Amino acid sequence: MDTLNIAILGCGTVGGGIAKIITEINNELSIRAKTNIVLKNIVELCPEKAAERFNIPLNLFCGGGKDLTGDEANQYIKEIISSKEIDLVVETIGGKSDFVYNLCLEILNSGKHLVTANKALLAERGKAIFEAAEKNNVKIGFEAAVCGAIPIIKTIQEGLTGDLIQSVSGIMNGTSNYILTQMQNEKLEFNDALKMAQESGYAEADPLLDINGGDAGHKLTLLIKLAFGVDVSKEDLYISGIQDITKEDIDFASEIDAKIKLICYAKKVNGVIYATVRPMLVKNSNFLSEVNGTTNAVRINNKYSGIHFLVGKGAGSTETAMSIVSDIVFIARYGDKIQNIPAKQVCNLANPGQFVFSYLITFHTGNLPGTTGFIATAIGNQGINIETVSHNRHSGEKAVFSVATTPCTFGQVENAIKEIRNQKPGMLLSEPKIMPILY
């Protein structure tokens, strides 16, 4: 039986989970891979803490278990990269720093396979990394980089190869979804729900990348590469987060039988890709509306086989680690027959103004007769049909109401608002909020 020797760089939440699984079910993994899966080395600054947390033997750590300085750790990493014995390196240091970027290139250039959960690195600086893998005929496993435990990458790369993907959408950031679920169920405002998420350990002290859509954007970038064979970068996508969602928005959503979710969305129509990450009103008839808390879900619409849903844990130690270990088994089994990324296709990205959705537009106005009629007329003047107008939340001198449209472009909606502003400069007390409705 062949042997696959592995080193893990970084033994935190994910790295530790990997070492734990490989240690606990090593025999099963080796049988499945028809290859001895051998964990040779772990490089970690504080091995004792990690060994205790994950119940892994201290002798697996470079340095025999004593704490390492940064320089010592770097020296061990260099030895691993130059070692002829190691076949595959797991990078679980994280981040998109030059250090990690160069490290990944060196791993690949030394002829070793790379397995990583590093979505930021692959989404923002992935091009050179994938090219290095091609050049050196080694593989990159990154199942754990998109939606933690959900095997979405192998599903696209291996499970749905008999089809053409038309759209990919989903809930891919557990922190945002937890906050929105709390806002919905406990009738909280955003800041209170965020505080709750932080207290429960579901949001970082600095939650920016989770709540501003950046993390979800990284995942969507990778899925677009896989589903459509197109190389996009996060900057190409229209991304907006959940920071501005209010209790009122959730209330208006309920009125049209919908829930607000941070949705990753990419659709290919006539060779053009429409891709965005933003809060949407998901109709209760769409399965994604039922995905609550930190759970992740991906919806794929295919030409021949219709709609598929995958639901699972989007984060967590052994949850994410499981995807990495599955990548290791996959590489052990199929080695250089694996295709890292599909052939590259040329494709244009639509600008946000071209996006066709039904939209919900929420207006804050003075409490004056004729307002609803004027706004509805302005919307109609842009060729947009109105589906419903909400119950108006009058209060003193102010009025708040929302208008749900039938499908139209975002540009049409923006033009309608421009017309209202031009013709009645004082009518809108604030910028109307525009959110797509997902059926």
Quick check: 134 binds a copy of itself (CB under 8 A)?
no
SS3 for 52?
helix
* Catalytic residue list contains 219: yes
Binding residues for a copy of itself restricted to 257-296, rule: CB under 8 A: 287, 290
Quick check: 164 binds a copy of itself (CB under 8 A)?
yes
Nearer to a copy of itself, 81 or 115 (CB): 115
Specify the DSSP element, H or E, that contains 16.
Answer: helix 13-24
Quick check: 411 binds a copy of itself (CB under 8 A)?
no
Q: Which residues are bridge partners to 301 per DSSP?
A: 167, 307
Torsions phi, psi for 203 (to 5 deg): -135, 145
Long-range contacts formed by 190-195: CB under 8 A, 24+ apart: 190/242, 190/243, 190/244, 190/245, 190/246
- Alpha-carbon distance values, 364 to 208, 233, 399, 400, 428 (Å): 28, 36, 6, 5, 6
Quick check: 306 binds a copy of itself (CB under 8 A)?
yes
Sheet strands (E) in 12-144: 35-43, 88-91, 113-116, 140-141
Shortest Cβ 224–a copy of itself spacing (Å): 17
Taking Cα atoms as reference points, which of 219, 400, 408, 222 lies closest to residue 315? Answer: 219
Query: Which residues, including other chains, have CB under 8 Å from residue 165's CB and lie 6 or more apart?
Result: 156, 227, 228, 268, 300, 301, 302, 303
Nearer to a copy of itself, 239 or 324 (CB): 324
* Interface residue with a copy of itself, options 225, 267, 308, 433 (CB under 8 A): 308
Quick check: 1 binds a copy of itself (CB under 8 A)?
no
Site size with a copy of itself, rule: CB under 8 A: 55
Shortest Cβ 151–a copy of itself spacing (Å): 3
Quick check: 12 binds a copy of itself (CB under 8 A)?
no
Quick check: 149 binds a copy of itself (CB under 8 A)?
yes
Nearer to a copy of itself, 271 or 306 (CB): 306
> Binding marks (x or -) toward a copy of itself, 317..356, rule CB under 8 A?
-xx-xxxxxxxxxx--xx--x-x--xx-------------
* Interface residue with a copy of itself, options 313, 363, 378, 384 (CB under 8 A): 313
Nearer to a copy of itself, 330 or 363 (CB): 330
Nearer to a copy of itself, 74 or 155 (CB): 155
Quick check: 125 binds a copy of itself (CB under 8 A)?
no
Query: Considering 219, 259, 313, 433, which one is annotated as catalytic?
Result: 219
Shortest Cβ 73–a copy of itself spacing (Å): 26
Angle, alpha carbons 258-263-268 (nearest 5°): 115
Neighbours of 391 (CB within 10 A): 12
- CA separation for the pair 142, 94 (Å, rounded): 13
* Interface residue with a copy of itself, options 74, 110, 136, 155 (CB under 8 A): 155
- CA separation for the pair 252, 267 (Å, rounded): 26
Shortest Cβ 140–a copy of itself spacing (Å): 16
* Interface residue with a copy of itself, options 28, 52, 189, 244 (CB under 8 A): 28
Q: Which residues are bridge partners to 386 per DSSP?
A: 405
Specify the DSSP element, H or E, that contains 253.
Answer: helix 247-255
- CA separation for the pair 37, 338 (Å, rounded): 18
Query: Which residues, including other chains, have CB under 8 Å from residue 432's CB and lie 6 or more apart?
Result: 361, 362, 363, 364, 417
* Residues catalogued as catalytic: 219
Applying CB under 8 A, the residues found at the interface with a copy of itself are 17, 21, 25, 28-29, 31-34, 143, 148-151, 154-155, 158-164, 287, 290, 302, 304-313, 316, 318-319, 321-330, 333-334, 337, 339, 342-343
